Structure 1
Amino acid sequence: MSSRLSGSSGFDVGPTLLFCPADRPERYAKAAERADAVIIDLEDAVAADDKPAARQHLHGHLEALAAPEAEALRRRTVVRVNPAGTEAFDADVEHLAGAGAALVMLAKAESVDDVAAAAAAFPAAGIIALCETAAGVSRAEQIASHPQVVALMWGAEDLIASIGGSSSRRPDGLYRDVARQARTQVLLAAATHGAAGIDAIYADIDDAEGLAAEAADAVGSGWAAKACIHPAQVPVVRQAYAPSAEDLEHARALLDEVPRHGGAFRFRGAMVDMPLVRHAEQIVRRAEAAGDA
């Protein structure tokens, strides 16, 4: 299942992206089966000593995905590489640059120059820039302006660490103000340049209720997808992105009325103008992506 929920160019997977450590090749296929896309991670999920073997595993996997019958899976496989300017990034490029990755996630992107380095190394790939430091968030719009960027993702924990904090969330589980600002800033930067926005992971795997609330907010705010760190999170996020029967009926009925009016009109007790029409169109698109329309 895939959806194209934004004006992005080159990003058509979602709404669930599931992380998988690159040093666990036996999990690659399982992760891809359970989510709409798999992020095979060469950065934080893999210890430094294990990265060389992980690169070899991933190279072999990408070569296998070059077969015509594997094209659909290749297009929903994301490779997360290490930050530009690091030895680990250089090693990632050396092993994977010609392996045919369709989507490359650049960890800790902090400037358009970082993106340019990834784009030069992977010229045929869409770049997902991960804005997860103070510099990356502050320059999110510049980063999103690179023509090879198809999506921006943000990350709370690395961001807080980069500014000297110790927790991205308050005791009630909600984000602290600085994290909320960063989340908003990255989403607006992505939308400004026609890129998709990918919402950060929810670290508490056992808190399905909290994840559901955050995913629902992501849907309402316009995030095209949300990253997951455990397969159990995938159905929760999918449920949030699938409109309820009531919302879908309302959206369809509203859209049926549009051709009968020349401008704003009254519908079921509310005034409807073009922004609300666009909201209804988004609901129908999400239903179609979920297979409910």
Structure 2
Amino acid sequence: MSGFPWGPALLFCPADRPDRYAKALERADAVILDLEDAVDPANRPAAREALVASSLDPDRVIVRVNPGGTDDHAADLAALAATPYRAVMLPKAERLDDLRELDGLATIALCETAAGVLAAPALAVAPGVIALMWGAEDLVASLGGTSSRRPDGAYRDVALHARSAVLLAAGAAGLPAIDTVHLDIDDLAGLADEAEDAVASGFAATACIHPGQVETVRAAYRPGGAAVAEAAELLAMAETAGGVFRFRGRMVDGPVIAHARSVLRRAGHSG
């Protein structure tokens, strides 16, 4: 899988709130300056002006533009060209043609409609696409539904299917996948559960909508000391075992060794 250029906590920030830009970037591993859903349509011209006037670290900035084929999309790209930012998130990505005007940009394809989820395998191998992300609420809206979650807060089956489909499409193409936002800002326990499941399943990052969610996501993606020590011990034994072997009562083969390497990568270790 291609290396992920950012840490695990990506924080959305409304592009019409330039007073929050630096604070958001300071709190998170990368900031997503949002020209789409977070901005009232009447405020988008001002948001683009703020984007052009900003001076953040371009290596840690992603700009979410408006969907392809819209007037706002063209205006967003014109503004983006006047900045040093070259990572872009394309919402409601559904067709290869949606990527046509993003040549030269590192693109995160946001698969958040029924058509987008079904097109995820094709989008993942398109030139310039560096990651896939999925979205629950727009997905359910595209199906005519009313909620992505059950009354107990768990995702409905269709949302879970979309989440898995986008992760699999990204993985098959050797790309990282980004898990979607947790809308209940105060539900840090629920966010922790979802982020822990995300990293265990293979997601590279989780998007956040509030600075207070960042540390919960980071903690979920960061292996504890015991897990790191166990992974290092297992890999050291694998170097001399020469095949399948027993480690702490478990059989270890190729996939288990790969899991241990993932733990060390997440902990910032090599190997």
Provide the TM-score with structure 1 as the length reference. 0.90
Q: Which amino acid aligns with 1:59?
A: V
2:216 corresponds in structure 1 to 236
Alpha-carbon offset, residue 97 of structure 1: 2.3
CA–CA distance in structure 2, aligned partners of residues 179 and 104 of structure 1: 24
Aligned match for 1:108, one of 87, 92, 114: 92
Q: Determine whether 1:195 maps to 2:169.
A: no
Q: Determine whether 1:288 maps to 2:268.
A: yes
Q: Which amino acid aligns with 1:107?
A: P
Equivalent residue runs for 1:235-254 within 5 Å: 235-254=215-234
CA–CA distance in structure 1, aligned partners of residues 197 and 21 of structure 2: 29
CA–CA distance in structure 1, aligned partners of residues 185 and 133 of structure 2: 20
Provide the TM-score with structure 2 as the length reference. 0.97
Q: Which has the higher contact order (CA 8 A, sep 6+)?
A: 1
CA–CA distance in structure 2, aligned partners of residues 112 and 264 of structure 1: 43
Alpha-carbon offset, residue 40 of structure 1: 0.2
Is 1:18–1:35's contact at 8 Å kept on the other side of the alignment?
yes
Is 1:116–1:146's contact at 8 Å kept on the other side of the alignment?
no
Question: Superposition RMSD on alpha carbons, in Å?
Answer: 1.3
Q: Which amino acid aligns with 1:159?
A: L
Q: Determine whether 1:19 maps to 2:12.
A: yes
Q: Determine whether 1:52 maps to 2:45.
A: yes
Equivalent residue runs for 1:124-143 within 5 Å: 125-143=105-123
Equivalent residue runs for 1:1-293 within 5 Å: 7-8=1-2, 11-61=4-54, 64-65=55-56, 73-117=57-101, 119-120=102-103, 123=104, 125-288=105-268
Q: Which amino acid aligns with 1:78?
A: I
Return 5+ residue gaps in structure 1 as ranges: 1-6, 66-72
Alpha-carbon offset, residue 108 of structure 1: 0.9
Return 5+ residue gaps in structure 2 as ranges: none
CA–CA distance in structure 1, aligned partners of residues 203 and 7 of structure 2: 10
Q: Deviation string for 1:87-144 (max 9, x for gaps)?
A: 1101112222242322100111111111222x23xx1x21001110111001001111
Is 1:200–1:227's contact at 8 Å kept on the other side of the alignment?
yes
CA–CA distance in structure 1, aligned partners of residues 82 and 116 of structure 2: 27
Q: Deviation string for 1:54-106 (max 9, x for gaps)?
A: 00110111xx34xxxxxxx2111000000000111011122222423221001
Moved over 6 A (4+): none
CA–CA distance in structure 2, aligned partners of residues 228 and 83 of structure 1: 20
CA–CA distance in structure 2, aligned partners of residues 126 and 93 of structure 1: 13
CA–CA distance in structure 1, aligned partners of residues 30 and 202 of structure 2: 19
Aligned residues with identical type, % of pairs: 57
| Partner-residue secondary structure (3-state), 2:211 | coil
Is 1:82–1:106's contact at 8 Å kept on the other side of the alignment?
yes
| Partner-residue secondary structure (3-state), 1:284 | helix
Alpha-carbon offset, residue 267 of structure 1: 0.8
- Between stretches 243-252 and 217-226, larger displacement belongs to 243-252
Q: How many residues of Structure 1 are paired with residues of Structure 2 in the alignment?
A: 270
